[in-house]
Amino acid sequence: MTNTFRSFKTIKSIPVRSDAVRDVLVHLTFDPKVTAIDHFDDISLEDASIPAEAIFVKITMRRYLLEIEPAVRTARRVADYAGRLGIGRRVITTADIRRLPCYANVQEIWRHADGTVPVALRMRVFSQLRKQGALPMAELMKSLREFDAAKDALMSLACFGLIRIDLNAPLSSGTLIRIAN
C-alpha cells in the first residue's frame, strides 16, 4: 500500500495510514455528489497551529470535516473550530462503505488508477460518447475492438474523472458509461 492517496478530486496528496481510509477515499472519488477532497496536516487556531490530520470533502458547494471510523478521529479542537466556521461534520464508517452495493465496482475500477490510455483509444471513446450519449459497456466495447485492453482503458478513464461509469448495479455488459461532467 502506498502512503498517499491522489485522485482527480483531491487538491493534493492525502496521507493514508490504513486500507480503511483508502477505501473511503476511493469511494468518495466516485461519488458524484463529492466535488473535492482535501487534507490539512495542521490548522491555525487563534494564533496557534495544532496538528490536525483533517480530511475535508466538498459536497454540493458545502464543506464537511470527514471522520472515518474507526480509522480517523479528528482532534476535538479542530472539530469545534470547523463547527464555528460553519463547516459541517460527516462521519463515515468503513463497515458502511464496504457494505454498499457499489463497493466491489469501485474497487475493480480503482485497480486501473495507474493505467495509461493511448490517445487514439481515448479519442475514439470520447467520439462515441459525444455522438451517442451514454452507452452500455458492451456497445462501447464493440466500437473499440481493434484496441487491446479497451476495458482496462475505460476503467482508467473513469479513475481520471474523464468518463463516468454507472456504479448502481454490478459491472456488466449493460453498465452505462458517459462522459463526466
Give the model's pLDDT for residue 97. 83
Give the model's pLDDT for residue 173. 92
Largest CA distance in the chain: 61
| Domains located in the chain, CATH noted | 4-100 (no CATH), 105-179 (1.10.10)
**173 Cβ contact list (under 8 Å, min separation 6):** 136, 137, 138, 141
Give the model's pLDDT for residue 60. 84
| pTM recorded for the entire structure | 0.83
Give the model's pLDDT for residue 73. 63
Give the model's pLDDT for residue 146. 87
List the helix and strand counts (H, then E) for the chain.
7, 9
Give the model's pLDDT for residue 108. 93
Report which residue type is found at 129. L
Q: Are 150 and 122 in contact (CB under 8 A)?
A: no
Which residues of the chain fall short of a pLDDT of 70?
1-2, 45-48, 50-52, 70-75
